[in-house]
Amino acid sequence: MLWLVVKNMQTSRLSNGGFAAALLVMSFALSASAQTNPNQVAAGTSGDQAASNPPLTLTLQDALERARRINPEYRAAVTELGVAKEDRVQSRAALLPSVNYNSSLIYTQGQGVPGTVRYVANNGVHEYMSQGNAHQDLSLQNIAEYRRTVAAEAAARAKSEIAARGLVVTVVQAYYGLVVAQQKYATAQRAAAEAQRFFDISQKLEKGGEVAHSDVIKAQIQFQQQQRDLQQAELEMNRSRVELAVLVFPDFNQNFSVVDDLPLPEPLPAFAEVQTAAANKNPELRAALAGLQAAKQEVAVAWNGFLPSLSVDYFYGIDANQFAVHGPTDPVTGFRQRNLGYAATATLQFPVWNWGANRSKVKQADLRRDQAKVELSFAQRQLLGNLRTFYDEAQTARAQLESLSQSAELAAESLRLTTLRYQAGEVSVLEVVDAQNTLTSARNAFHDGQVRFRIAMANLQTLTGNL
């Protein structure tokens, strides 16, 4: 439009009125092009970008997958699990033989006489060592250390699952918080429209002399209050969108929509089934058990410090004055020495005295084991308590959904009938305002009940896994 106006101005003569009209059209085109969607402005995208990039539709599972990739607490737990796995690999390697290759040269100052050196410990002026070494440490301490790393890995795996389930609760709260905020915004829009309609009705009735001016004032006050509630609902909706965007998008994208699946609540399983799932799949209990096993192995590691350890080394290669497979031929005997050969050593070490360090380590390990027992006992009690509490919460929230839905329907019908009675002069304006407020409260309570049930199920599944 703007291009056409400029083209016409260049190719034709415009009268004063035509020129003014062209300027008006240009200003309208500029103002229209400057308007953008508030969500696009918040997301930092232009109108053209929004047109080329439609909003991404997120389901709850999509949000969970995205959150798992960028949530720092969950990633920290996964990292700890990876570190624990590598600790187990390193500890297992300590139980197996290791092979190394050593190559070195020792040069010693000579005495000026062939075959004699100033350092009596060396075999010659030149000594070459090029040999492979197979080394093995045999110690009960290494075995106990490996068992400890296995238990630590199991504990880290359980903690990563705890973090994953906790992340589910966080995402469920944010996801359905946005869904409910959108529903409440729609409810506020309907309430504002109803208040506007009632305000118009009261004005018409006042003109006909059927109601007093005080009714119009009350209807206007109600309309203004609904407008303020609408603004507050929009603010809460935008805040909920930001909270979910922080959780699921690494680039803080707000150009997305969510799927409203709240009208389809899943059935609640029987408590006996929930108990069985909690006993078999509870990560807190598994983490506490693994922690106790690791603490017991630490005690074993500490006690093994009092036991002897055996190390065995096998060498094969060259340790001679010449870097060659064969040495020089003896001119007298004609014997040619072979430098390539093998050797083996075995060392048995007995701990004798270390100023009480080993006994101190045993005391430390005993303290950690006792603490692990206390934590396991508490985890068992906490599981029983949380299981009963979370199940009752989910059961109550599920049972109240039908009642809340009926209350919202009854409130809508009550408002309709009360408005008709007001038009007939049978009720006061206060009853109409009360019916409007009751309908808004009933709808919001129903939406809150829906998200309450979803969060209660997410909390219950932190103990049982997916039911």
Query: For position 51, what pLDDT does the model report?
Result: 42
Phi-psi category of residue 283: left, alpha or beta, with phi > 0 → left and psi -120 to 50 → alpha? alpha
Cβ partners under 8 Å of residue 81, min gap 6: 153, 156, 157, 159, 160
Of the candidates 122, 129, 94, 88, the residue with the CA atom closest to the CA atom of residue 108: 122
DSSP string, 155-213: HHHHHHHHHHHHHHHHHHHHHHHHHHHHHHHHHHHHHHHHHHHHHHHHHHHHHTTSS-H
Q: Which residues of the chain have pLDDT under 50?
A: 1-51
Separation between Cα atoms, residue 22 and residue 2, nearest integer Å: 9
User: Regarding beta strands 256-258 and 56-58, do their DSSP bridges make them parallel or antiparallel, or are they unpaired?
Assistant: parallel
Distance of CA 119 to the CA centre of its chain: 65
Question: Which CA distances in Å does 438 have to 201, 219, 224, 413, 430?
Answer: 20, 15, 17, 11, 12
Query: For position 14, what pLDDT does the model report?
Result: 37
Separation between Cα atoms, residue 131 and residue 343, nearest integer Å: 10
Entry pTM: 0.75
Query: What is the three-class DSSP state of 401?
Result: helix
Beta carbons of 212 and 222 less than 8 angstroms apart: no
User: Regarding beta strands 309-320 and 126-138, do their DSSP bridges make them parallel or antiparallel, or are they unpaired?
Assistant: antiparallel
Query: What is the three-class DSSP state of 218?
Result: helix
Q: What angle do CA 54, 59, 65 make, to 5 degrees?
A: 105
DSSP string, 335-357: -EEE-EEEEEEEEEE-----TTH
Separation between Cα atoms, residue 68 and residue 65, nearest integer Å: 5
* In the chain, domain spans: 1-29, 148-307+356-464
At how many degrees (to 10) do helices 16-34 and 2-11 cross?
Answer: 160
Separation between Cα atoms, residue 68 and residue 61, nearest integer Å: 11
Beta carbons of 191 and 229 less than 8 angstroms apart: yes
Locate all alpha helices (DSSP H) within 282-356, ordered by sequence: 283-303
Beta bridge partners of 256: 56
Which value, to the nearest 10 degrees, does the dihedral of the CA atoms of residues 30, 31, 34, 35 take?
Answer: -150
327, two tokens: 């040495």
- Can you identify the CATH homologous superfamily of domain 148-307+356-464? Outer membrane efflux proteins (OEP) (1.20.1600.10)
